[in-house]
Structure 1
């Protein structure tokens, strides 16, 4: 079996998000990971420039889309999965713990009984250790919670798509203070990722430029993270990490797009149905108790 997929990253500077097309050179079958729907919160307008760049790459290279993968329910951008699926087909997959996220945020947004909390909005729910393939390239899913309960790492050949679990070595790790997040769980998930072969390529969901670095970067390796990650390099204990992460998270602000992102992404990228006036509305909880 082939083990070295082609990976093309697409950086969206507005949300500091990287989407990926990962393809098997032998069969031309591909997967798209963590797509972005452009959203202007001040105008309440969506557009498709970011998704169209990905779609154009797939078509230009004559690839066949099999999977649309979400590493987790993102809090900082909206997923373009339904738009991409309409244009290219493919199966939409996420971790099976999406049900936990749906239950938690379904209550926060008072989503009502019409909102299904069983993950049925997605085509496939991955469990820890589930195996699949991208063309002739073997792949498997690893449950890596801590940032959120539903976080999954997708290992496709020698490439791992790790979502928000880790950032570049000079930037550290993801926050763990969202509902259902847990710093100790995050540390243990990171150790799972770092137990992959040292030359495994790691592809990150975000980059924010570390102090002193004037360019964006989103690819590293297990070996580089083990040796140099400023938060969890070798020698950093679980208790040391939890103390650091907990203190750091208390100083972080709320992501700018968390309210629209969670409502849309926990529903597989779909917006609520239109109101009788034909317009679509999202909820904003005020002074929540």
Structure 2
């Protein structure tokens, strides 16, 4: 797992330290965002490892986050997911068990739960968000040590997506990728290119020097993984946004999405992630099972 740390100027009030952990299996980035004054931190979008070929799960990625927390003498205040992920399992539930820190996600996760409850034919699924300790609405505030964090509702990629703004850092999940990677897809159930455009405009209205931390990097051209940009850089050179308007963006995004196959783990991951990262309960033989609906995602590209 590749790591990178942003440390310049961390002593400045309102400027958190940010450590990124790149997961090459899913091209995801997990983050530890820390208040340098108090050494209190939040973990953002942690990954629970899963191999779809063997059905094996493990906690190596999440344990690497815990090892960093321990080595640095940090205390975990929050375990945050930006949205219910379609390409990896969330390690939020596991990390809560290890740290005692509360878990949180955007309040509109209940809409995603209701949608997928029907897709999975899952009558016993609680669709009130009770699988998390806190559901954040847009503009909610919370603390990480002495830092104030706020929540931006950022739908488009999913109905529940949120951005966490902590000081001069914003964790923008699957909205904008790095400028050479463009933007996130919007063809999942409940997605919307129009909503994504509006969410991107909200993010780009932040101060130009705001540090933006993306949720994935697919390494265009085979370059090394990268995950930090600024508002100014995105406005200047994002290949899907710079020089575009809403109509052109929506047309581009919808046309592009029609060519993209679904993530290989979408049907695996959503049933775990709409439960806050909880794996299915063991059955009477002691084994856990995932359940896949066939032909549920009509029109998906093969």
What is the SS of the residue equivalent to 1:31? strand
1:138 and 2:166 are equivalent in the alignment: no
What corresponds to 2:197 in structure 1?
Answer: 187
What corresponds to 1:150 in structure 2?
Answer: 160
What is the SS of the residue equivalent to 1:37? strand
Residue correspondences, number: 286
- Say whether the 8 Å CA contact 1:70–1:94 is kept in structure 2: yes
Alpha-carbon distance in 2 for matches of 1:147, 1:22 = 23
1:69 and 2:80 are equivalent in the alignment: yes
Q: What is the CA distance between 1:287 and its match in structure 2? A: 3.0
RMSD after superposition: 1.1
What is the SS of the residue equivalent to 2:20? strand
Alpha-carbon distance in 1 for matches of 2:22, 2:182 = 19
- Say whether the 8 Å CA contact 1:2–1:136 is kept in structure 2: no
Alpha-carbon distance in 2 for matches of 1:201, 1:271 = 34
Q: What CA deviation, in whole Å up to 9, does each residue of 1:147-168 have, x standing for no partner?
A: 0000000000100001101100
1:265 and 2:267 are equivalent in the alignment: no
What corresponds to 1:229 in structure 2?
Answer: 238
Structure 1: unaligned runs, 5 residues or longer: none
Please give the residue correspondences for 1:208-287 in structure 2 after superposition, counting only pairs within 5 Å: 208-211=218-221, 214-233=223-242, 235-287=243-295
What is the SS of the residue equivalent to 1:162? strand
Please give the residue correspondences for 1:12-161 in structure 2 after superposition, counting only pairs within 5 Å: 12-112=23-123, 114-161=124-171
Q: What is the CA distance between 1:276 and its match in structure 2? A: 1.4
Alpha-carbon distance in 1 for matches of 2:225, 2:39 = 28
Q: Given the two structures, how large is their TM-score scaled by the length of structure 1?
A: 0.97
Q: What CA deviation, in whole Å up to 9, does each residue of 1:65-93 have, x standing for no partner?
A: 01000000000000111111111121100
1:11 and 2:22 are equivalent in the alignment: yes
Q: Given the two structures, how large is their TM-score scaled by the length of structure 2?
A: 0.93
Alpha-carbon distance in 1 for matches of 2:225, 2:279 = 31
Q: What is the CA distance between 1:2 and its match in structure 2? A: 2.6
